[in-house]
C-alpha cells in the first residue's frame, strides 16, 4: 500500500512467478520519476490484471492497470492511489489495514506488525546492498556533475 504513489507498480519477477507471459505487457515509452533519486525510470510497459480482495462469500474484484518495471524490489507489487480509487478503499497506515466495500459488508485486508517489520528489515538490507554497490557511486557522480 502506498497512498503517496500515483501508480500501481508490478515487478517483472512477480509476473514471472505468477506464470504470466511477458507478451501480455503493452509496451510504453513513458518514463516515471521518484523511484531512483534525480533520475527517470523506464518501465517495461503496462498490463491489466483482475485483482480480488478476500474470499468466496465476501469479495470484490476489479481490473487494475499496473506499470511493469524490470528492476529489483523487495515487494511483489505496489498498490497506489489508482487502486484505492477503483476499489474506493480507505487505508489505515497505523493499523496496517485497508478497508473497502464488498458484497454488502466491509472487507478488511491487513497484515501483522511482525510481517511489516520483516519487510522493513528486508528492504533495509536491500538498500544497504545498493549503497555498497557501484550503482550508487555512479548515480552520485552523475548527480554532482
Percent over 90 (pLDDT), the chain: 14
69-107 per-position pLDDT tens digit: 887 666 678 888 888 889 888 888 777 788 888 887 888
**Is residue 112 included in any domain, yes or no?**
no
Say how far apart CA 91 and CA 41 lie, in whole Å.
27
CA 36 to chain centre: 15
The confidence score (pLDDT) of residue 38 equals 62
**Is residue 137 included in any domain, yes or no?**
no
* Domain range for 71: 9-88
Say how far apart CA 42 and CA 82 lie, in whole Å.
19
**Is residue 67 included in any domain, yes or no?**
yes
**Is residue 78 included in any domain, yes or no?**
yes
- Is the model's pTM score more than 0.95? no
Say how far apart CA 8 and CA 100 lie, in whole Å.
17
42-57 per-position pLDDT tens digit: 788 999 999 998 877 8
Amino acid at each position: 500500500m502506498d497512498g503517496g504513489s500515483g501508480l500501481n507498480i508490478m515487478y517483472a519477477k512477480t509476473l514471472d512467478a505468477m506464470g504470466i507471459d511477458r507478451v501480455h505487457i503493452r509496451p510504453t515509452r513513458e518514463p516515471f520519476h521518484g523511484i531512483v533519486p534525480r533520475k527517470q525510470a523506464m518501465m517495461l510497459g503496462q498490463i491489466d490484471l483482475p485483482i480480488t480482495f478476500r474470499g468466496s462469500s465476501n469479495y470484490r474484484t476489479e481490473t487494475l492497470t499496473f506499470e511493469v518495471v524490470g528492476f529489483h524490489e523487495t515487494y511483489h507489487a505496489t498498490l497506489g492511489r489508482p487502486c484505492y480509487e477503483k476499489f474506493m478503499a480507505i487505508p489505515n497506515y497505523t493499523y496496517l489495514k485497508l478497508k473497502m466495500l464488498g458484497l454488502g459488508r466491509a472487507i478488511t485486508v491487513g497484515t501483522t506488525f511482525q510481517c511489516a517489520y520483516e519487510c522493513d528489515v528486508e528492504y533495509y538490507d536491500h538498500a544497504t546492498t545498493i549503497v555498497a554497490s557501484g550503482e550508487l557511486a555512479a548515480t552520485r557522480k552523475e548527480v554532482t556533475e
